């Protein structure tokens, strides 16, 4: 997931020819000041995948549209939602098909009020699910207002929490809850929520990342200096009917390892080829090592096994730089994700297939 409007430092080889105004309108990974110039990415050699994505891809939405998620509504319209930008708390675009052409809705902000618990800035990674007739739930990451005592003493930092908002139509306006849905501030906060309806059991879940690198000790994305902090992906069951009420306790399904660099994040869960497939990103989003990976499991709760063919998509594939934040387009055999572009982080897509429930093969190119 890529943050909202705060300034950040950018590696010169990744973000060339971007002016100061663009930088100020762009994204910063966490609350620590990052020094991308001092911490270039390191590519870890892995097993070679059975595909060579070499053709150049063009964005399907050529503007700054980070952390895209996709919804296919009952009337056949496709909706894409993205992190704050272009003057909107939550950005939205529509299309007659998942592959486009996409129309950016310049005059629509589907979440104009992010809730009284937020700063009203840097609203990240929305994910919208239709949970019933006339009921749509948006999961998002909101920056929490700093908590202070009556004397003005700071009691809690501006970590991110997971928020929920509901609406009667895909374009909202969504009404945010008065309080955050979950926070885990003692571990760094929560970002990158994504919903999942299990087609096998009919049970509904939300996966999200504990933002441990926001309380790291510096370096790459705030977590490149030992001791490195955990950034686990969590799975929380929710009521299948309302998509909000929690069922039981959240369970950890994945965490960073040495091969992942400072973090794992941006989870998206799908059921493909008879297995549960968890897509995620690793390394730091402002560095060339940022990528798309996947892990598989026989049960939704795991254990998940990271693929030996990771990264699934990385810098250089399809001519992309720092691709990540992939979301499954349900029933389409496609992923949407963001990668560097002239406007910031544009939305791209790629097709995939599943080989015996294990190897996912990226296909095609433009």
Domains of the chain: residue spans and CATH = 20-29+60-363 (2.115.10.20)
Closest CA to 46 of 248, 307, 230: 307
pTM: 0.85
User: Angle at the Cα of 246 (from 244 to 249), degrees rounded to 5?
Assistant: 150
Q: What is the pLDDT of residue 158?
A: 76
The pLDDT-based confidence of 360 (bands split at 50, 70, 90) is confident
Dump pLDDT digits (tens) for 147-199. Answer: 665 666 655 557 999 999 999 999 999 999 999 999 999 999 999 999 999 99
| 8 A C-beta contact, residue 366 and residue 55 | yes
Greater model confidence, 174 or 27: 174
The pLDDT-based confidence of 11 (bands split at 50, 70, 90) is very low
* Residues marked as catalytic: 67, 265
- DSSP bridge pairs for 239: none
Q: What is the pLDDT of residue 150?
A: 64
- DSSP bridge pairs for 156: 147
Question: Rounded to a whole number, what is the distance in angstroms from the first to the last CA of the chain?
Answer: 25
Is the pLDDT at 16 greater than 50, yes or no?
A: no
Dump pLDDT digits (tens) for 69-87. Answer: 999 999 999 999 999 999 9
The pLDDT-based confidence of 45 (bands split at 50, 70, 90) is very low
Rounded to 10 degrees, what is the CA torsion of 180, 201, 336, 42?
80
With the C-alpha atoms ordered 121, 237, 332, 95, is the resulting torsion angle positive or negative? Answer: negative
Greater model confidence, 53 or 244: 244
Please give the C-alpha separations between residue 235 and each of 145, 200, 252, 358, in angstroms, as whole numbers.
25, 17, 6, 21
Is the pLDDT at 312 greater than 50, yes or no?
A: yes
Neighbours of 194 (CB within 10 A): 28
Peptide bond into 303 cis (omega under 30): yes
Is the pLDDT at 361 greater than 80, yes or no?
A: no
| 8 A C-beta contact, residue 310 and residue 23 | no
What does the pLDDT average to over 195-208?
98
State how far the Cα of 291 lies from the Cα of 65, in Å rounded to an integer. Answer: 17
Q: For the purposes of burial, counting CB atoms within 10 Å of the CB of 255, is it exposed (0-12), middle (13-18) or buried (19 or more)?
A: middle
Peptide bond into 311 cis (omega under 30): yes
* Residues constituting the chain: 366
| 8 A C-beta contact, residue 340 and residue 65 | no
State how far the Cα of 243 lies from the Cα of 130, in Å rounded to an integer. Answer: 9
Segment holding 162, helix H or strand E = strand 160-167
């Amino acid at each position: 997931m890529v943050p909202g409007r705060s300034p950040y430092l950018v590696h010169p080889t990744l973000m060339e020819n971007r002016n100061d105004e663009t930088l100020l309108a762009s994204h910063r990974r966490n609350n620590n000041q990052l020094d991308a110039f001092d911490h270039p990415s390191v590519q870890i050699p892995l097993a070679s995948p059975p595909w060579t994505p070499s053709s150049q891809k063009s964005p399907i939405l050529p503007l700054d549209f980070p952390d895209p998620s996709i919804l296919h509504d009952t009337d056949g319209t496709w909706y894409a939602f993205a992190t704050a930008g272009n003057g909107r708390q939550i950005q939205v675009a529509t299309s007659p098909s998942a592959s486009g052409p996409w129309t950016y809705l310049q005059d629509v902000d589907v979440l104009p009020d992010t809730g009284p618990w937020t700063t009203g800035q840097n609203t990240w990674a929305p994910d919208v699910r239709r949970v019933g007739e006339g009921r749509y739930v948006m999961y998002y990451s909101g920056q929490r207002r700093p908590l202070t005592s009556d004397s003005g003493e700071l009691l809690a930092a501006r970590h991110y929490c997971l928020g929920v908002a509901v609406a009667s139509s895909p374009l909202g306006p969504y009404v945010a809850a008065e309080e955050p849905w979950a926070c885990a501030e003692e571990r760094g906060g929560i970002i990158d929520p994504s919903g999942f309806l299990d087609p096998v059991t009919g049970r509904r879940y939300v996966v999200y990342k504990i933002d441990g690198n926001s309380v790291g000790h510096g370096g790459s994305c705030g977590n490149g200096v030992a001791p490195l902090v955990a950034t686990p992906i969590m799975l929380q069951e929710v009521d299948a009917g309302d998509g909000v009420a929690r069922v039981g306790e959240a369970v950890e399904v994945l965490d960073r390892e040495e091969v992942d660099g400072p973090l794992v994040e941006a989870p998206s869960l799908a059921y493909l080829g008879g297995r549960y497939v968890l897509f995620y990103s690793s390394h730091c989003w402002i560095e060339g090592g940022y990528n798309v990976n996947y892990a598989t499991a026989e049960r939704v709760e795991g254990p998940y096994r990271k693929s030996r063919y990771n990264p699934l998509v990385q810098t250089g594939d399809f001519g992309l730089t720092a691709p990540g934040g992939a979301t499954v387009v349900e029933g389409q055999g496609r992923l949407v994700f963001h990668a560097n572009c002239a406007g910031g982080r544009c939305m791209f897509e790629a097709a995939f297939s599943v080989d015996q429930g294990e190897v996912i093969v990226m296909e095609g190119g433009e």
